[in-house]
Amino acid sequence: MRTKAQNGVVALAVTAVLVAVACGTQSGRAKPDLSVIWFSWPPCEALGKLTARYQDANVKVTCIPIGQWHDQIFTDFAARGGSDFPILDSQWIGEAVTGGHLVELTEWMKQNIEVSDYVPAALAAYGEYPPGSGRYWGVPAMADVQILFYRKDVFQRLNLQPPKTWTELLAHARRIKQSGIVPYGFVWFWCGSAACYDQIQTAWNQIAWSFGGELWDPKTYRVEGVLNSPENLRGLEFARELFKTGPETGGNWTFSEVVDAMCTGQAAMTIIWIGFGPNLTDPSKCKEAGNFAFAVPPGEKRHFLSLGGMGLHVSAYTKNRDAALAFVKWFESRDTQIEWVKLGGYSARISVLNSEEFRKAAPYNAVFAEAYQKVKDFWNLPEYSSMLTIQGEQLNLAVTGQKDPKAALDLIAREQQRILDKAYPKGPPK
Q: Rule CB under 8 A: say whether 303 interacts with other proteins.
A: no
**Please, what is the minimum distance in Å from the beta carbon of residue 399 to other proteins?**
10
CA distance 171 to 94: 40
Which one-letter amino acid corresponds to residue 57?
Answer: A
Closer of 162 and 251 to other proteins (Cβ): 251
Using CB under 8 A, which of 84, 144, 300, 393 touches other proteins? Answer: 393
DSSP 298: P
CA distance 128 to 139: 9
Q: Rule CB under 8 A: say whether 333 interacts with other proteins.
A: no
Count of alpha carbons within 13 Å of 424, Cβ hemisphere only?
15
Q: Rule CB under 8 A: say whether 382 interacts with other proteins.
A: yes
Using CB under 8 A, which of 202, 318, 394, 416 touches other proteins? Answer: 394
**Please, what is the minimum distance in Å from the beta carbon of residue 132 to other proteins?**
22
**Please, what is the minimum distance in Å from the beta carbon of residue 112 to other proteins?**
28
Query: Helix, strand or coil for residue 149?
Result: strand
CA distance 364 to 400: 31
Phi, psi angle pair for 404, to nearest 5°: -65, 130
The residues pairing with 179 across neighbouring beta strands, listed in sequence order, are: none
Closer of 141 and 395 to other proteins (Cβ): 395
Q: Rule CB under 8 A: say whether 295 interacts with other proteins.
A: no
Q: Rule CB under 8 A: say whether 402 interacts with other proteins.
A: yes
Contact string 226-265 vs other proteins (x = CB under 8 A): ---------------------xxxxxx----x--------
Touching other proteins, residues 91-120 (CB under 8 A) = 95, 98-101
Closer of 261 and 367 to other proteins (Cβ): 261
Closer of 96 and 296 to other proteins (Cβ): 96
**Please, what is the minimum distance in Å from the beta carbon of residue 317 to other proteins?**
12
Nearest Cα to Cα of residue 312 among 53, 60, 38:
38
Choose one: 26-34, 120-128, 215-223, 384-392; the region binding other proteins (CB under 8 A).
Answer: 384-392
Nearest Cα to Cα of residue 337 among 74, 30, 114, 71:
114
DSSP 297: P
Q: Say if residue 130 is preceded by a cis peptide, omega within 30 of 0.
A: yes
Q: Rule CB under 8 A: say whether 40 interacts with other proteins.
A: no
Closer of 300 and 393 to other proteins (Cβ): 393
Q: Say if residue 382 is preceded by a cis peptide, omega within 30 of 0.
A: no
The residues pairing with 150 across neighbouring beta strands, listed in sequence order, are: 269, 293
What DSSP string describes 355-393?
A: SHHHHHH-TTHHHHHHHGGGEE----STTHHHHHHHHHH
Q: Rule CB under 8 A: say whether 42 interacts with other proteins.
A: no
| 111 burial level (CB within 10 Å; 0-12, 13-18, 19+) | exposed
**Please, what is the minimum distance in Å from the beta carbon of residue 6 to other proteins?**
39
Phi, psi angle pair for 208, to nearest 5°: -60, -50
Contact string 53-82 vs other proteins (x = CB under 8 A): --------------x--xx--xx-xx----
Length of the chain: 430
Closer of 295 and 388 to other proteins (Cβ): 388
**Please, what is the minimum distance in Å from the beta carbon of residue 24 to other proteins?**
36
**Please, what is the minimum distance in Å from the beta carbon of residue 253 to other proteins?**
9
Which one-letter amino acid corresponds to residue 167?
Answer: T
For other proteins, the binding residues (CB under 8 A) are: 67, 70-71, 74-75, 77-78, 95, 98-101, 191-196, 247-252, 257, 382-383, 385-386, 389, 393-394, 396-397, 400, 402-403
